[in-house]
Amino acid sequence: NALGNRARKSGQGILTVRFEMPFPIWCTTCPKPTIIGQGVRFNAEKKKVGNYYSTPIFSFRMKHVACGGWIEIQTDPKNTAYVVTEGAKKRDIGDDKVHEGEIQIRTDEERERLQQDAFAALEVKIDDRKQATTDKSRIEELQLAKEKDWDDPYAASKKLRRAFRADRKVRQKNEDLTEDLKDRMSLGMDLLEETEDDRQRAQFVEFGDFGQSGSERAVHRAHARPFFANDTSTGQVGVGSTSKTQTKTKTRQLKSLQELEMHKEKFRRELRNNTRAMMDPFLTDSATAAAVPSASITLGIKRKRDLPSNSNVVTPEQNAGSSPVKQPLVAYDSD
């Protein structure tokens, strides 16, 4: 069989499937009250046990490993739900209760009981009258609120158009600023609208050379450059073309695209080189941070670090007992 071990009981009409518990249940076989949470999966034996009109009713029988008892759950097509029939009971989480605003549809058995029991029918009539009074008062409140808001349709429309006009001016101003930024920076990409999170993150970023000397700036720029330079030559353009005009047009397009990519790459390098995260003064020693620059590792380059004349050299044995270096603070997620 293509289903393998899952169909070992196919002669009995049983197929092993992966069943996920649709709601939390209490296991009645365990010696102590044990709850099985919603979403727990079992290897269940699926079997057809009946029909509701033309809809089949399936039974899922599974074994609880903790106690060895069997739990059986069946589908209920009439109420579009699952019913626990053996080995457990459904946990009451309040889903079966009728909430405010919901309409409860009575079954045939309930209608027959109300017809035979006069007191039950009287209680239902009293409850229906209370509910009708509450619904009527609520509908009247909604009608009054609507009449108050739309008593003067022209004034309401004027208010809405004024708010829309103000928002439209703000959106137009933001679009103009975005287009101006894209033109000045030659950005060939779409810029999203600025958010409050973007403003907070921008406050933790500083731009500049950070008081470094010319040699250190040159080293940082060398680190930011790619290891292999891009080939900016255009190569042979328009090979096999019969028209010189088309060749020149293609050459100009390739040059413009290459210049745009070079400009973007230069902008990214400058941005990475001149950007750093703001350091928390309470977590960083100002003297140490000012004296010792951030170290970086570069393949093939070995530099000797210059120590100040008045600095104390710390041995590895002394450094092993010292407290670890605290990380810079980039952003706070709470107050």
Task: Render pLDDT for 4-46 as a digit per residue (tens, 0 to 9).
Answer: 888 888 888 889 999 999 999 999 999 888 999 999 999 999 9
On whether the CB atoms of residues 293 and 212 are closer than 8 A, the answer is yes
How does residue 234 score in pLDDT terms, banded at 50, 70 and 90? very low
Task: Give the pLDDT confidence of 89-135 residue by residue, as tens digits.
Answer: 998 876 666 666 666 777 788 888 888 888 888 888 888 888 888 88
Write down the pLDDT at residue 214.
Answer: 64
How does residue 3 score in pLDDT terms, banded at 50, 70 and 90? confident
Q: Tell me what the mean pLDDT of segment 52-64 comes to.
A: 93
Q: What single letter denotes the amino acid at residue 12?
A: Q
How many whole angstroms separate alpha carbon 48 and alpha carbon 39?
23
Sign of CA dihedral 107, 110, 114, 119: negative
Task: Reply yes or no on whether the pLDDT at 328 is more than 70.
Answer: no
How many whole angstroms separate alpha carbon 211 and alpha carbon 291?
11
Q: Tell me what the mean pLDDT of segment 290-314 comes to.
A: 49
Task: Give the pLDDT confidence of 246-291 residue by residue, as tens digits.
Answer: 677 777 778 888 888 888 888 777 777 666 555 555 555 544 444 4
Pairing of strands 70-76, 55-63: antiparallel
- State the pTM of this model: 0.34
Question: Could you tell me if residue 64 is left (phi over 0), alpha (psi between -120 and 50 degrees) or otherwise beta?
Answer: beta
On whether the CB atoms of residues 209 and 285 are closer than 8 A, the answer is no
Pairing of strands 15-20, 41-52: antiparallel
Write down the pLDDT at residue 333.
Answer: 55
Q: What single letter denotes the amino acid at residue 136?
A: K
Q: Which contiguous run of DSSP H or E holds residue 48? A: strand 41-52
Token pair of 59, please?
């039974």
Residues listed for the chain: 335
Task: Give the pLDDT confidence of 187-215 residue by residue, as tens digits.
Answer: 778 888 778 888 888 887 766 655 556 66
Q: Tell me what the mean pLDDT of segment 142-148 comes to.
A: 86
How many whole angstroms separate alpha carbon 115 and alpha carbon 108?
11
Write down the pLDDT at residue 294.
Answer: 46
On whether the CB atoms of residues 24 and 39 are closer than 8 A, the answer is no
> How many CB atoms are closer than 10 A to CB 226?
8
- Residue 203, φ and ψ in degrees, nearest 5: -70, -20
